[in-house]
Amino acid sequence: MANFTSNTYQMKREILTFSNKISKHLSKPGKKFTVDMTYGMLASKSCLLTDIVDQLHEDTKKVNSVERLTRHLNKGIPFAALKSYLTTIRKWVPKETVIHIDDSDVAKPDGYKFEALGLVRDGSKSTDTKNVYEKGYHVTEACALTTNGHPVSFFSKIHSSKEKNFTSINSITFSAMERGKALFGKATFVLDRGYDDNKMFLKLDELEQDYVIRLTAKRKLFFHGKWVSATQLRNQRKGKIKTPLIYKGKKHDAYLSHVKVQITASRKDIYLVLVYGITEHPMMLATNKEIRSKEDVINVAKTYFSRWRIEEYFRSKKQIFQFENFRVRNLTAINALNFYITLCMAFLAHISMKAETSALKVAIIQNADPIKEKVHFHYYRLAKGISGILSYAQEGVRRWFLTKRPMYRQLSLKLTV
């Protein structure tokens, strides 16, 4: 690629500038560690410490560099870095914030020495008819959509029911909701069927947040003075509003309908939005957002269907940085490593928001050599292009932190006769 050394320099400078925003309140060793992790993972497309060290091109022994990174990870997530990160990403999110919360898993089937290793449902092996369980950890993630529609995480926690102080998954989800309110004020929380729980509705009402939650077939709703099954209301109606929606990568003609109901949790008026023509059984979405026109109904459906972005976020996190392949063993270090992976994902979001004419972004896309000209999710090609540009580097970022020492005059003796 032409001018690759210039592009490599600019790429390093971009990573260093981003990293310094996050670590500006840390000590100098903390700043060096932050940029080492960010640069190493983006260059290697891996979260293995040995792969990260390979990209740093340090003069010290590899084992010593790995031990240095491990010591920093064992200290956990620096509060000052987390605060700076949240302040940074808050500027990328539009005023009408959409937040997706979902649970995933990290499977470690061959792991024996990992702290508090529990059992999780392996999503990659499970099917609609059969659940496969493996040793691993649960991951609770909360992402906000940026101005260009890409997810950026503001809450990510790896946890296990085998932990000594573990209370419940709900308490972790509530922590994500509380951080969302503290960070963005009022937002629209989008949740899947696994969150169809009265506790979720009550918590969101307590926080005065909007929501769009997909209901299960067991849900009861209060309609015209009596409790009826949500499926009964679904079967009694037909979609009257036609709109195109994208589901699992394919475009469908959906037919929407809505009705005012009450839910068992709070007995407040909400709307049941029904989506026909996409899945075998019509989808049932509960929302407390005001519906006054068919455009409002369509917007509720589109808000829910933007959920594919957080699912793709999980997938890209695992594929780009080999998220399930980590080797650190205690949960403090695992969560710290997860935080630095989140920083790298945020850096991809940062690059995706640059103008299409940006010289650096053009160089990244050219280096990625994508097959498709346009895609809806940019993280894969950006990660490939960044790694390709950094592959030309013959040294890491250590020399960017050389200490500037004052120049001292040579000592001289004045001879007197």
CATH of residue 112's domain is: 3.90.350.10
Residue 21 has pLDDT above 50, yes or no: yes
Contact yes or no for 97/188 (Cβ under 8 A): yes
- How many CB atoms sit inside 10 A of residue 280's CB? 4
Residue 21 in domain: no
Average pLDDT over residues 169-186: 96
Residue 41 has pLDDT above 90, yes or no: yes
pLDDT value of residue 402: 61
Give dist(CA 346, CA 305) in Å, integer: 22
Dihedral sign for Cα 136, 48, 75, 27, please: negative
pLDDT band at 28 (very low <50, low <70, confident <90, very high): very high
Listed range (35-39, 376-380, 391-395) with the worst mean pLDDT: 391-395
pLDDT band at 416 (very low <50, low <70, confident <90, very high): low
Q: Which pLDDT tens digit goes with each residue over 381-406?
A: 999 999 999 998 888 887 776 666 66
Residue 57 in domain: no
Residue 61 in domain: no
Say how many domains are in the chain. Answer: 1
pLDDT band at 103 (very low <50, low <70, confident <90, very high): very high
Contact yes or no for 175/155 (Cβ under 8 A): yes
Residue 105 in domain: yes
pLDDT value of residue 1: 43
Q: Which pLDDT tens digit goes with each residue over 262-290?
A: 998 777 899 999 999 888 889 999 999 99
Residue 291 in domain: yes
pLDDT band at 24 (very low <50, low <70, confident <90, very high): very high
Residues contacting residue 189 through CB under 8 Å, at least 6 positions apart? 99, 100, 101, 177, 180, 204, 209, 210, 211, 212, 213
Residue 248 in domain: yes
Structure tokens at 23: 């670590």
Give dist(CA 132, CA 361) in Å, integer: 41
Domain that holds residue 261: 83-311
Dihedral sign for Cα 400, 341, 166, 136, please: negative
Give dist(CA 409, CA 407) in Å, integer: 7
Pairing outcome for strands 133-145 and 97-107:
antiparallel
Residues contacting residue 110 through CB under 8 Å, at least 6 positions apart? none
Residue 392 in domain: no
Residue 78 in domain: no
Give dist(CA 285, CA 274) in Å, integer: 6
Residue 3 has pLDDT above 60, yes or no: no
Average pLDDT over residues 171-181: 97
Average pLDDT over residues 217-221: 92
pLDDT value of residue 405: 61
Question: What is the percentage of the chain residues whose pLDDT exceeds 70?
Answer: 94
Phi, psi of 265 (to 5 degrees): -65, -55
